[in-house]
Structure 1
């Protein structure tokens, strides 16, 4: 009997969480390889940042690898030197919002502990995967890694420039990807800055600029001009909804229901966050009850409103934004970008406000914070592009990621599932819905790990030189 090999492509939070669960629960004979170019695992876009202005946007007590470990990150963090040194992490209500890189440190430590005590063999390959041939993953240097199952943990493609900026992608005033190391160091102290987008990334950019000593004016704009809402302060008991109540499975029906629940909560002197939190806990079930057309309606009309209420802002970052706004150094506008023209090293932007006349904005820097271009995921990653070109995978119908079945197995162009090729993390959210918040991503990783281990336990692999390819 040969060993069983699982190859995970991508070592951000999703891929690392999957590896942790495989290490914790796997048996001897299982070999796990994580292919991730970064030096350290668990240091993806979200938790790889070292900027002290970037904080976890929910209390640490709500961050964990599994439901059984609720509160573990909070307990771990309070014992660290980082907690003692970062006096701003503890908020007025006693909850802590660590710098985001600390969660990456925590996950890396959990991985190290799991590896030290596990019979499972773990290997980290520090280069990108570029192709899958038969049952073999090939890396950029030509190394080949045979696999019985491959798991795609590739979630966040690079941001895409708005059409009005395509011709200016190389202009020195355009900061197309604020997540690049030292990207904001190009902003001078008195620069006039515009930020396209008004979500969590915009909030991080504003906090970073403030930390770097920027004193110039900042204008953030998006089509709706909505900021992420604040987290709930203090302690409250959950407020569960009655999901047995007659309810139309439509986007409009759920909007009406949520408004009713929020109004009832207000009558009970309870905050609206309790309603949204319970909806989030049941988000995957509710999403899968909607038809494809209703899912599209939600994304087209309600997603921006859901995002600003669901993905909330750390109070420390919110305080910076409120301060800069009160001082007149930060403006928020509901507008879209009509055009952009270069004027030397500056830009002349033409904005179309909602319900107003176009206006001109002269800026020294324009930062794009519209987020990863998930619709381009299958084109921007070499491995995914190869698989899509060969028809082995396809985008989900909502263009949120990769099409999968209920077992997180990829679907080819004939909608046939591949029992040896899985997706873990946000790239599967077209199927599952709520797969961007960390608790749901962690739960998904645990579920996929359980499926893979069930296969390992029930279907030992016999390999010989003439064995057929499995993909």
Structure 2
């Protein structure tokens, strides 16, 4: 890959047009004081959707109340202000709306409006390229991005916001199950197209499973739903109640086992005072990254082997109505939880037969008309099936993050190459930083990363 006469120049390139990429672009546009050229490269338009906010279905709710979903650290009520200005919920008072879990499609629209406002007010120019970045190479003149459509880009600096990738269905034979019988949970329209009378198997019991069940219920689904996962733990709900007031700072000096014991003790003490355990978890929310980084590598590995699923259901909670829907379907005998490890997926006639092993390694089967892959976010960069990341890792421009999770980055977000040398012209955001930060997926983290990245990407503007 070389710099040629056909290469187009820009000051800043943003790879990915989901929430993180749009927030970076907004920060750059707001911070620009001259006519910079900013390019967002995103194959799936419109912008602002990504995986989380691509759904158009009103049954898919944000997992955080509207009052805490601002895209900007310095404007904590911005999303709430947007909803009120749009009159999205006529007659609902501000205080009530702040506590509400609203449909996720509102957030995508919010990001696009704020981006357009930033474009209108900025001396910088924004160009959106409907393409996929295939390769990234460093040059003295800048960062060259090879696209799958159109000329290459020569950027002064780059924000790497590739977003989330879905884990493949972890079963032998899965690739041979035909479309329509094998559905990705993030293909929201395909989930809604499932026949109302069909029996459905969902692999994975986390947030993507909850989305799939909500979609099926909204379409009048009447069949049986079988949920298979290794722990068979449903997502837990948010709760109202008094705030927990213990000091979380001592947790930072503890090992993993001590922390687990301490949190259980805090939860028990809070319960005696009428404080829900959810608010105990909220107390450590600002320390999420520090808690991960202060663990030894051995304790991080223990966490990934033994604790992560329990952390997920307590930390990544769902809206109360969604949780109530899951419990009601269980009560009706229509939603069944199966604990086991998926081994095989085989299409047989009109059905799909899943073979699994229970905790005693005894085999069992689940027969359904289709299987939905809701296994969640792929964390291993080598397994993300992303040509750009494969090229960067293969060329040594990047290296895997700790434990093989994501790609590695410096504390300021700069890309680290295979030798551990920082490339400040490339800022890494979001799920790619999980190995270093752990908490790096949700809007509270993304908005801070985006604001910091925008400030670092802007060229000197004297």
Tell me if both proteins adopt one fold, taking TM over 0.5 as the criterion.
Answer: yes
Q: Does structure 2 retain, via aligned residues, the 8 Å contact 1:200–1:228?
A: yes
2:382 and 2:25 map into 1 onto residues whose CA distance is 23
The count of residues paired between Structure 1 and Structure 2 equals 450
Going from structure 1 to structure 2, the CA distance change for 1:210 and 1:242 (only over 3 Å counts) comes to closer
* 1:259 maps onto 2:264 in alignment: yes
1:158 and 1:230 map into 2 onto residues whose CA distance is 23
Aligned counterpart, 1:464: none
Q: Does structure 1 retain, via aligned residues, the 8 Å contact 2:80–2:98?
A: no
Aligned counterpart, 2:201: 194
Structure 1 residues 197-206 or 135-144, which shifts more?
135-144
Structure 1 residues 405-414 or 335-344, which shifts more?
335-344
Aligned counterpart, 1:359: 364
Q: Does structure 1 retain, via aligned residues, the 8 Å contact 2:224–2:334?
A: yes
Going from structure 1 to structure 2, the CA distance change for 1:368 and 1:308 (only over 3 Å counts) comes to same
Going from structure 1 to structure 2, the CA distance change for 1:94 and 1:414 (only over 3 Å counts) comes to closer
2:388 and 2:343 map into 1 onto residues whose CA distance is 35
Task: Measure how far apart 1:412 and its partner are.
Answer: 1.3
2:15 and 2:96 map into 1 onto residues whose CA distance is 41
Structure 1 residues 158-167 or 289-298, which shifts more?
158-167
Q: 1:15 aligns with which of 2, 13, 21?
A: 21
2:175 and 2:24 map into 1 onto residues whose CA distance is 40
Q: 2:329 aligns with which of 324, 329, 342?
A: 324
- Secondary structure in structure 2 of the residue aligned to 1:182: helix
Q: Does structure 2 retain, via aligned residues, the 8 Å contact 1:90–1:96?
A: no
Task: Measure how far apart 1:204 and its partner are.
Answer: 0.5
Q: 1:410 aligns with which of 404, 410, 415?
A: 415
2:149 and 2:278 map into 1 onto residues whose CA distance is 49
Q: How does 1:302-321 map to 2 (within 5 A)?
A: 302-321=307-326
Aligned counterpart, 1:390: 395
Q: If the length of structure 1 is used for normalisation, what is the TM-score?
A: 0.89
Deviations 1:333-388 (A, max 9, x none): 22222333332121222333335843322211111100132314565112222221
Deviations 1:68-120 (A, max 9, x none): 222321232134354249x9x99999722111010010111111111111122
1:410 and 1:356 map into 2 onto residues whose CA distance is 42
Q: 1:227 aligns with which of 211, 234, 244?
A: 234
User: After the TM superposition, which segments of 4 or more aligned residues of structure 1 sit over 6 Å from their partners?
Assistant: 89-94
Aligned counterpart, 1:6: 12
Aligned counterpart, 1:336: 341
Q: How does 1:15-414 map to 2 (within 5 A)?
A: 15-84=21-90, 95-133=99-137, 134=139, 135-170=143-178, 172-175=180-183, 177-233=184-240, 236-237=242-243, 239-243=245-249, 245=250, 248-355=253-360, 357-376=362-381, 380-414=385-419
1:171 and 1:38 map into 2 onto residues whose CA distance is 21
- Secondary structure in structure 1 of the residue aligned to 2:412: coil
* 1:422 maps onto 2:430 in alignment: no
Aligned counterpart, 1:468: none
Structure 1 residues 287-296 or 102-111, which shifts more?
287-296
Q: Identify unmatched segments of 5+ residues in structure 1.
A: 461-471
1:398 and 1:90 map into 2 onto residues whose CA distance is 44
- Secondary structure in structure 1 of the residue aligned to 2:402: coil
1:356 and 1:387 map into 2 onto residues whose CA distance is 39
Q: Identify unmatched segments of 5+ residues in structure 2.
A: 1-8
Structure 1 residues 303-312 or 73-82, which shifts more?
73-82
Going from structure 1 to structure 2, the CA distance change for 1:227 and 1:156 (only over 3 Å counts) comes to same
Aligned counterpart, 1:467: none
- Secondary structure in structure 1 of the residue aligned to 2:403: coil
RMSD over aligned Cα, in angstroms? 2.5
Task: Measure how far apart 1:401 and its partner are.
Answer: 0.8
Structure 1 residues 411-420 or 373-382, which shifts more?
373-382
1:163 and 1:194 map into 2 onto residues whose CA distance is 13
Q: Does structure 2 retain, via aligned residues, the 8 Å contact 1:74–1:96?
A: no
1:11 and 1:171 map into 2 onto residues whose CA distance is 27
Q: If the length of structure 2 is used for normalisation, what is the TM-score?
A: 0.91
Q: Does structure 1 retain, via aligned residues, the 8 Å contact 2:252–2:291?
A: no
2:96 and 2:384 map into 1 onto residues whose CA distance is 45
